[in-house]
Structure 1
């Protein structure tokens, strides 16, 4: 299990096969859940990359216990979501 922080906002979420799932829009540090936009447009990806933006109704909830690895640019899950 990884510990998620607000510094993870704007990172890419990748699956076990290194396929991009989406981009982290928001992290709830208390609940340890990352909210991921599964198909961000170019503008939205840029906004999220700078750490600005919020989760919305179509975001995927990714609990910290499913995140295997956290790097400077991505979160990687150990299984398909």
Structure 2
């Protein structure tokens, strides 16, 4: 079942962009927000689009308006994330 909002059971899911490239992994769900450990190979332009700043941070908040769908296995971002 697909949905577009996070739930507690989304912890541990892979976050991918609209073409399926890995962005990171959900490490925690807190107050309805997914926190993502960014993939080490994630480039600065993608980080900037997501508003994630520098690579030195641990986990980044994923804004729900950037999410296209959530499946049993992954969280897929919108084309324009």
Name the TM-score class by shorter chain: 0.5 to 0.7
1:1-81 pair list within 5 angstroms: 2-28=4-30, 30=31, 32-39=32-39, 57-79=57-79
Whole-angstrom CA distance in 2 between matches of 1:80 and 1:60:
18
- Please, which runs of 5 or more residues in structure 1 have no aligned partner? 41-56
Q: Normalising by the residue count of structure 2, what TM-score does the alignment of the two structures yield?
A: 0.66
> How far has the Cα of 1:21 moved from its partner?
0.5
- Provide runs of 4+ in structure 1 moved above 2 Å: none
> How far has the Cα of 1:77 moved from its partner?
0.6
